[in-house]
Each structure stands twice: as structure tokens, then as C-alpha cells.
A and B are shown apart, each in its own frame.
Chain A
């Protein structure tokens, strides 16, 4: 079995409301000099092989209209 870590994040140029909310909270907590916060998600899984992972990302794990994904295999 291989272990895959799949990183999914909002496409560049799309307003990421979650990232914006996190960024908005930073000054109140004393964090300065931080900008362009974007929030995505990570999916970890075990698979017999890597062949179907791209298809899996395209069809389910990511929505290619609004999200980019990267597959890392270890």
C-alpha cells in the first residue's frame, strides 16, 4: 500500500471566504505582517497504487472549477 497526501485549495483568484475570515481575526490576536491567508484541506489515504488517484481528485475530492489539488505519495 502507498500513502497519499492530497492537498486541496481554492484556486488563485477566487475569493476564499474562510481565509478572509481567518485573516480578519489576526490583528485582534496580536499577529501582524500576515496576509493572503488561504484555507484548504488535506486528505490522507492508503491505496494499492497511485493510478486512480487523479481520477478520484477530479471526480470527488476536488471540484476542478474552483479548486486545485496536489498529490504527494510517500
Chain B
């Protein structure tokens, strides 16, 4: 691994440039006032892309051993499951009955 470190340094600098470019894009897009869904989707896609670049190259996750990848994949799945099932469990409360306004009126 050590003999091609010089090549890697060049790669790190390219990744750095890509990260800076993506940061500029995500900030720029936020000033465009796109519709809600597009804004959220774009921001998360860009953030995921940046995080993947950091993880793959800086954290050497690209080509990492299965014994690292398996626990991380499990973790990623569990995070998605936590968020997903949390929202699904609360879906009726969140989207079904927004009766909070009625409460507010009691104390006005």
C-alpha cells in the first residue's frame, strides 16, 4: 500500500476540489428558492455524495475488508429502519389529524 502514496496524494487533492465544488453548488442551489421537494432531494443527494467521497477516499473505505463493511452495512440498514419505521408508526399522527390549532385556541 505504501509504495503508491504519491499517487494517492494527487487523488486526495482531486477529491478536495470535488468537495469544494459540491459545497459551492449546494450553497448556490439553496439561494435559488427551488420548490420544497427539489430542494430537500438535491441537498441530501449532494451531502450523500460528499460524505461518500470522504468515506471512500479519506477513510479508505474503498476496497476495505468485509469485516468492516458488514457491520457498517448493518448499521446503515438499521438507521434507515429506525427512521422509516419511526415515521410510519407516527404517520397517522403526523399527517392524519393536525388538530394542534384547536388546542392553541383554548388558551387564546
Whether chains A and B associate is no
